[in-house]
Structure 1
């Protein structure tokens, strides 16, 4: 059984059920959360990361469409595997980390897949703020229970988000001769119920 099949099986249990309850607050788990970004530098892919510094998460496993997220990241702690690329990334012409040290995301809508299931291709819409500029973004979304947990046990969850942005939309136009404009964003967060 491959990893994709295991993930789909885990997600299949997270479907809306009758008797909706209010969304439960969740906090980042012991494994934390990482934003990984990928961009093309002179024709070669480069990956980097930014730690999530704060998260206000509310999840309702009985009504996933009512779930919300507000997440902040400290772009001054952004890293790549190349020191010169890291410094360029934080420079005034790209992320301008000294003037705009915080990036943020606020969800606006959860769209469940066909049949009202997150395992059928859910998306998370929201507003992403970089360099003080806010634009809408859409992530492909996945949510699954901790491995080995019981079917109704939602105390520990893993959130997986995947999206793309055009850095020009946020005024991050520096090094255009070396860096492509599309940046991939992947977020993996372990969260635990705080309620």
Structure 2
């Protein structure tokens, strides 16, 4: 799983999202340097992990209606890597991700269910659709949003988005090496986004 850099302690957004400066829906652009996707899988019964860059992210947050938050994330599957060269080669090959034909993976949100307190920083569930190998399936991701340490209460110019969930790779046709690699893949997405002025 991805761990946020230790020097970046995060503070919950909370009700400060209702400040006048962000009273209207705000669109954010991706900070690629601080954003990535971690994934876990099993190989011969042993847990392994890898990384995949985020190619783009279009995220819109409406402080007056947090449930209307919209997320559209595209992952660069062709640049996915594990700690094992042979595993990376197999993963990106034709019977798993097949990046020669399908170089990206896309997640689009459809609805957001907030926690009881109505704050994204205390967790939410995002229902959406994931497209992998040109196959689109429903998926649910757990989400939380934070602002960076040192920012003022009304400063939401930079936000860290955490998304987590899991999928069945065979459901998307990425079913290669079933005797060696487990079907369940766990995702941990960290996206650093900055408000578009």
Same-fold call, TM cutoff 0.5:
yes
Q: 1:167 matched to which residue of 2?
A: 169
What's the counterpart of residue 160 of structure 2? Answer: 158
Cα pair distance change 1:120/1:30, threshold 3 Å: closer
- The 2-side partners of 1:60 and 1:26 are apart by 11
User: Which stretches in structure 2 are left out of the alignment for 5+ residues?
Assistant: 1-5
Q: Distance in 1 between matches of 2:133 and 2:73?
A: 15
Is the partner of 2:87 in helix, strand or coil? helix
Q: Confirm or deny that 1:118 pairs with 2:120.
A: yes
The alignment's TM-score, normalised by the length of structure 1, stands at 0.89
Aligned residue in 1 for 2:83: 81
How does the TM-score come out when normalised to structure 2?
0.88
Q: What SS does structure 1 have at the residue aligned with 2:94?
A: coil
Corresponding residue of 1:28: 30
* Deviation readout 1:139-180 (Å, 9 max, x if unpaired): 111101111111121111000011000111101110100111
Of the candidates 186, 189, 196, which is equivalent to residue 187 of structure 1?
189
RMSD: 2.1
Is the Cα–Cα contact under 8 Å of residues 154 and 193 in structure 1 kept in the other structure? yes
| 1:4-62: CA deviation from partner (whole Å, max 9, x where unpaired) | xx75x6243456689x9442110112633101110000111111111111222212233
Count residues with an aligned counterpart.
189
Q: Which runs of 5+ in 1 are unaligned?
A: none
Find the residue that maps to 2:180 and give its secondary structure. coil
